[in-house]
Amino acid sequence: MAKISFEKVPHKSPTPADKRTALMADPGFGRVFSDHMVTVQWTQGVGWHDAKVRAREPFQMDPAAAVLHYAQEIFEGMKAYRKPGGGFGLFRPDENARRFNESAKRMAMPDVPEEMFLEAIDQLVKVDADWVPSGEGSYYLRPFMFASEAFLGVRPANEYIFCVIGCPVGAYFKGGFKTVQVWVSEEYTRAAPGGTGAAKCGGNYASSLVATKEAFDNGCDQVVFLDAVERKWIDELGGMNIFFVMDDRSIITPPLNTILPGITRESVMKLASDAGYKVAETPYSFDQWQADARSGKLREAFACGTAAVIAGIGKVKYRGGEFAIGNSGDGEATTKLRAQLTGIQRGTVDDTYGWMRSV
């Protein structure tokens, strides 16, 4: 495909600087949005067209748009950081582009050329540069694609919209970087073999919400899903992968198949292995988790993902009770890996892995 060029349509009334500063003072996660968005359309027989960097505004959609009925939709999440010497750094966006296309394949949607995906992201960061926080915050980018064709028959749509929006964000969890409490869902599962667990599609999250509500109702921050076949093995959290740190410096994480292949997960595996931990992708049962936490063999557990970064897990609750992990605070490995990962992302630790893309 020929390189797509983006038409730039500047915002007619961007947010005034004083209002922007106020909004960015405590943005939370996913509540405050920057001024622009990028959109590109796809039509069967034509391909990608009408690429625009434009004011962020509501879509006009036909009530029969296929996404509203059959949820043909995928998304990604990545962050841009202000670099100490100026400019911006994006963490492994090529991996997001690759995973986006894996999701697209699973959802019978068109391939998004990696170059177009990355260019869209660069363009949004540049046009909304003032919205990228300094200090602890970051700019979260949300690329997504949905079936826009008005058609109620059940088949892959013939029209799609690819869009990128962005928001300044702080910590994902309300308590900042305190350890979190998780709820193990024994009733609801997230993904079965052959299903869409490895794709980042909206439907996975829709079906997770009842379990997330159960977690919130039980005073927890996130839900932990077990496998759908035996209801025995730990899969992942509602929006994060999970790691377990043992007393012999081994670290384990559930294997891929029905879980999202997290980019943070893969990065943490590399960092931990290079720091001398024995890292393995191994099935780990909920029973074993309880036994190891109670015996002290399990020292730490943490959740990781783009939004959450690395969050220590202090307590685990389930219908039959609860148990603590370690002393319920962040453990040594969690703290060390988080410092190294965020250091690379923020440009204060050498990027020896070549993970950062400069904008």
Task: State how far the alpha carbon of 44 is from the alpha carbons of 98, 120, 160, 278, 347, in Å.
Answer: 22, 21, 9, 48, 42
Which letter, b or e, does each residue of 329-347 get, where b requires 16 or more Cβ atoms within 10 Å of its Cβ? ebbebbbbbbebbbebbbb
Q: Does 265 bind ligand PLP (CB under 6 A)?
A: yes
Q: Kindly tell me which residue out of 39, 212, 258, 264 binds ligand PLP, with binding defined by CB under 6 A.
A: 264
Single residue of 24, 240, 272, 301 touching ligand PLP by CB under 6 A: 240
Q: How far is the CB of 261 from ligand PLP (least distance, A)?
A: 7
Near ligand PLP by CB under 6 A, which window of 140-148, 165-173, 239-247, 340-348? Answer: 239-247
List helix spans (H) across 244-331: 263-274, 286-295
Q: Which stretch binds ligand COI (CB under 6 A): 16-24, 97-105, 186-194, 299-307?
A: 299-307
Q: Which stretch binds ligand PLP (CB under 6 A): 237-245, 276-284, 311-319, 332-340?
A: 237-245
Are the C-beta atoms of 76 and 99 separated by less than 8 Å? Answer: yes
Q: Assign 306 to helix, strand or coil.
A: coil
| Closest distance to ligand COI from the beta carbon of 330 (Å) | 19
254 binds ligand PLP (CB under 6 A): no
Which residue, 55, 56, 132, 127, is CA-closest to 90?
132
For residue 7, give the DSSP letter.
Answer: E
253 near ligand COI (CB under 6 A)? no
> Minimum CB separation from ligand COI for residue 305, in Å?
4
Neighbours of 256 (CB within 10 A): 15
77 binds ligand COI per the rule CB under 6 A: yes
Q: Is 306 in the site for ligand PLP (CB under 6 A)?
A: yes
CA-CA-CA-CA dihedral for 268, 274, 276, 279, to nearest 10: 40
Our finding on whether 306 is near ligand COI (CB under 6 A) is yes
DSSP string, 165-228: EEEEE--SSTTTTS-EEEEEESS--S--TTSSTTS-BHHHHHHHHHHHHHHHHTT-SEEEEEPT
309, β-bridge pairs: 305
Nearer to ligand PLP, 148 or 334 (CB): 334
Q: Is 156 in the site for ligand PLP (CB under 6 A)?
A: no
Strands 241-246 and 250-253: antiparallel
Q: Which stretch binds ligand PLP (CB under 6 A): 5-13, 152-160, 257-265, 275-283?
A: 257-265
Q: Which residues ranging from 68 to 127 are in contact with ligand PLP (CB under 6 A)?
A: 77
Helix (H, G, I), strand (E, B) or coil at 84: coil
- Give the residue nearest to ligand COI (CB): 77
> Interface with ligand COI includes 305 (CB under 6 A)?
yes
Residue 235 binding ligand PLP, by CB under 6 A: no
Interface segment toward ligand PLP; rule CB under 6 A; list 128-136, 152-160, 247-255, 263-271 = 263-271
Residues that bind ligand PLP in the complex, under the rule CB under 6 A: 77, 236, 239-241, 260, 262-265, 305-306
